[in-house]
Amino acid sequence: MSTFSEFGLEPDVLQAITDLGYEEPTPIQAHAIPVALSGRDMIGQAQTGTGKTAAFGIPLVSKIAPSEDRIVTLIMTPTRELAIQVAEEIEKLGRTKGIRSLPIYGGQDIGRQIRGLKRRPQIIIGTPGRLLDHINRKTIRLDDVQTVVLDEADEMLDMGFMEDITSILSLVPEERQTLLFSATMPTNIQKLAQQFLKNPEHISMIPKTQTTNKNIQQFYIEVQERMKFDGLCRLLDMEPPELAIIFGRTKRRVAELSEALMKRGYAADGLHGDLSQNQRDAVMRKFRDGSIDVLVATDVAARGLDISGVTHVINFDLPQDPESYVHRIGRTGRAGKEGTSWTFVTPRETDHLHFIEKITRHRISKKALPTLSEAMEGKQRVIAERIIEAVGNEEDTNAYKWVAAQLLEQYDSVQLLAAAMKLLTGDKKDVSVELTPEDPIRSKKRGFGGRSGGYGGGGQGRGGYGRREGGGGSYGGQGRGGYGQRREGGSYNGGGERRGGYNGNGGSQGGQGGGYRKPYREGGGRREDGGGFRGDSRREESRSSRNEDYVNI
């Protein structure tokens, strides 16, 4: 299928597609749209940034009559930011036709959502926790829903969401169409998914040879934990990104890292689940409009987010599992654009890196940590470019010329310009920053075949937060060194490895015994929106507070 008109779409919908600037369907759209239009259940898998949203969005808006005044379509996403973004795309696709849609997510004023619901939207895009809240308040009824979409399906069907999804889907009529989309779909998840699907068509656009998007150049740098921050600064200086997303492992890590980058003069801010929704919205707005160019985030930003201009993804901490790696780096190299990813790996984590390479079927190229002089060169290049740009702007510089001429009479021109450049670089490399060191990720050494079948098992909540005493010494600047004592014990990912096959032959479904959860959610099950990435005690709170969404991180 090479044009959208070949799908037999209505003129209004075609107009909306044109307005979005989409000229021809992407491969997943070409294959998935006809199946979705036919009413069949489907599992749709395609690489990050290849247009899965419109692949389900176009058929959804096509199938709804503008006169419909009930909720007939439900889309679920794992994070609030993704719900907002998907809602925006659906709104654009449905606007010309007069389709009404509404995002429903935790952290937003519920009264506002209730007012929105009075406009009788036909499509709801929500996160599970807040959806359940509305269902309990009877402000949302799902009796008339005909189509359900789980975006980031594997994440949604992970243990953290399983219970909520099951409750929500039990309220949707059996006679419905269910569509699952994701860039990753571990085999075990597919099996589980079939619990909710009827005779689904499986459409996979993932090439046998590589699960990550080929437009992303992937590098890793082996670096000691204590050198990571300086390494990051050098990297940002050497190859200044247009926009970059830097992933850290935990909320605390992200808070510390964004703070540290700001202190060193970078236009950065952090996104994680301990922030209020207003703060989260403000950070996203600043990143989207370019008032910051570095977004430091937990995995809350790993899935689905589509921000144009992201040229670099940096894994400051190695992700826990290969899926997370695929999604994180997939925030760049979208819609045919090129992108670069850098991953920091501490010496003890190289096994885990190779495991990620094996599962993603892609070799990640090794690079050396940029040297100080490479970083300096990069910085100076940027300053030189800014100066040259300003030189071209006579009007802006006129007011400075008189003083410039005076200075040139007294000083050497090269010396003058060098001094001005030095001031412009705003060099703050000596500002000391605090960063608590992280433990290395332990390699899972899982084979494809599965050791004991299934995911997880167990799940007694061992471990939790690897108690750490002594905390962080100062990091960088002067005073480097004091790293704080750390007591061993209490592995941070709480024991429970994901046993069993990844793409596994062999892994049975494992769902009994509380299994089927990722290691970092071990021991708790339910996620809270922005809750701990590790099974810490907060999960108990989230279990009882149903009025929020349960996204981890």
Residues 211 and 183 sit within 8 Å (Cβ to Cβ): yes
Residues 87 and 65 sit within 8 Å (Cβ to Cβ): no
- Shorter beta-carbon distance to ligand ATP: residue 45 or 320: 45
Instruction: Please tell me the number of Cα atoms within 13 Å of 512 on its side-chain side.
Output: 2
Based on DSSP, count helices (H) and strands (E) in the chain, helices before strands: 19, 16
- Shorter beta-carbon distance to ligand ATP: residue 133 or 158: 158
> Of these partners, ligand ATP, Mg ion, none, which one is at the site of residue 51 (CB under 5 to 8 Å by kind)?
ligand ATP
Smallest separation (angstroms) from ligand ATP to the CB of 315: 16
Which strand (E) or helix (H) includes residue 6?
none
- Shorter beta-carbon distance to ligand ATP: residue 181 or 229: 181
Cα 40 to Cα 44, 50, 172, 185, 527: the distances in Å are: 12, 22, 16, 19, 31
> What tokens appear for 527 in the block?
């996620």
> Of these partners, Mg ion, ligand ATP, none, which one is at the site of residue 360 (CB under 5 to 8 Å by kind)?
none
Give 363's DSSP letter: P
> Of these partners, ligand ATP, Mg ion, none, which one is at the site of residue 311 (CB under 5 to 8 Å by kind)?
none
**Cross-strand pairs, 344:** 221
> Of these partners, Mg ion, ligand ATP, none, which one is at the site of residue 190 (CB under 5 to 8 Å by kind)?
none
> Of these partners, Mg ion, ligand ATP, none, which one is at the site of residue 49 (CB under 5 to 8 Å by kind)?
ligand ATP
Smallest separation (angstroms) from Mg ion to the CB of 326: 12
Smallest separation (angstroms) from Mg ion to the CB of 43: 14
- Shorter beta-carbon distance to Mg ion: residue 52 or 468: 52
Q: Write out the residues near ligand ATP by the rule CB under 6 A.
A: 22, 25-26, 29, 46, 48-54, 183, 304, 306, 330, 334-335
Smallest separation (angstroms) from ligand ATP to the CB of 321: 16
> Of these partners, ligand ATP, Mg ion, none, which one is at the site of residue 50 (CB under 5 to 8 Å by kind)?
ligand ATP
- Shorter beta-carbon distance to ligand ATP: residue 25 or 501: 25
Smallest separation (angstroms) from ligand ATP to the CB of 47: 7
Place of tokens 């993804």: 313
The 10 Å Cβ neighbour count of residue 115 is: 11
> Of these partners, ligand ATP, Mg ion, none, which one is at the site of residue 25 (CB under 5 to 8 Å by kind)?
ligand ATP
Q: Rounded to an integer, what distance in angstroms lies between the CA atom of residue 54 and that of residue 128?
A: 21
Smallest separation (angstroms) from ligand ATP to the CB of 327: 7
- Shorter beta-carbon distance to Mg ion: residue 52 or 498: 52
Give burial (CB, 10 Å; 0-12/13-18/19+) of 380: middle
Smallest separation (angstroms) from ligand ATP to the CB of 137: 30
Give 175's DSSP letter: S
> Of these partners, Mg ion, ligand ATP, none, which one is at the site of residue 183 (CB under 5 to 8 Å by kind)?
ligand ATP
Smallest separation (angstroms) from ligand ATP to the CB of 362: 16
Residue nearest to Mg ion (CB): 304
Q: Rounded to an integer, what distance in angstroms lies between the CA atom of residue 43 and that of residue 180?
A: 5
> Which of these, 335, 334, 357, 333, lies nearest to 343 by C-alpha position?
357
Which strand (E) or helix (H) includes residue 326?
helix 322-329
> Of these partners, Mg ion, ligand ATP, none, which one is at the site of residue 454 (CB under 5 to 8 Å by kind)?
none
> What tokens appear for 457 in the block?
């098992």
Smallest separation (angstroms) from ligand ATP to the CB of 14: 12
Residues 257 and 230 sit within 8 Å (Cβ to Cβ): no
- Shorter beta-carbon distance to Mg ion: residue 47 or 343: 47
Cα 297 to Cα 178, 186, 223: the distances in Å are: 31, 24, 20
**β-pairing, 433-434 with 101-104?**
unpaired
Residue nearest to ligand ATP (CB): 51
**Cross-strand pairs, 246:** 296, 314
- Shorter beta-carbon distance to Mg ion: residue 52 or 251: 52
Place of tokens 């801010």: 269
> Of these partners, ligand ATP, Mg ion, none, which one is at the site of residue 219 (CB under 5 to 8 Å by kind)?
none
Residues 299 and 160 sit within 8 Å (Cβ to Cβ): no
Under 8 Å CB-to-CB from 241, ≥6 apart: which residues? 293, 294, 310, 311, 312
Smallest separation (angstroms) from Mg ion to the CB of 119: 26
Which strand (E) or helix (H) includes residue 95?
helix 80-95
> Which of these, 510, 528, 2, 39, lies nearest to 274 by C-alpha position?
528
Smallest separation (angstroms) from ligand ATP to the CB of 95: 15
> Of these partners, Mg ion, ligand ATP, none, which one is at the site of residue 306 (CB under 5 to 8 Å by kind)?
ligand ATP
- Shorter beta-carbon distance to Mg ion: residue 47 or 493: 47
Smallest separation (angstroms) from ligand ATP to the CB of 152: 7
> Of these partners, ligand ATP, Mg ion, none, which one is at the site of residue 330 (CB under 5 to 8 Å by kind)?
ligand ATP
- Shorter beta-carbon distance to ligand ATP: residue 202 or 480: 202
- Shorter beta-carbon distance to Mg ion: residue 44 or 515: 44
Q: Write out the residues near Mg ion by the rule CB under 5 A.
A: 52, 304
- Shorter beta-carbon distance to Mg ion: residue 124 or 261: 124
**β-pairing, 201-204 with 42-45?**
parallel
Would the CA dihedral through 247, 248, 252, 253 be positive or negative? negative
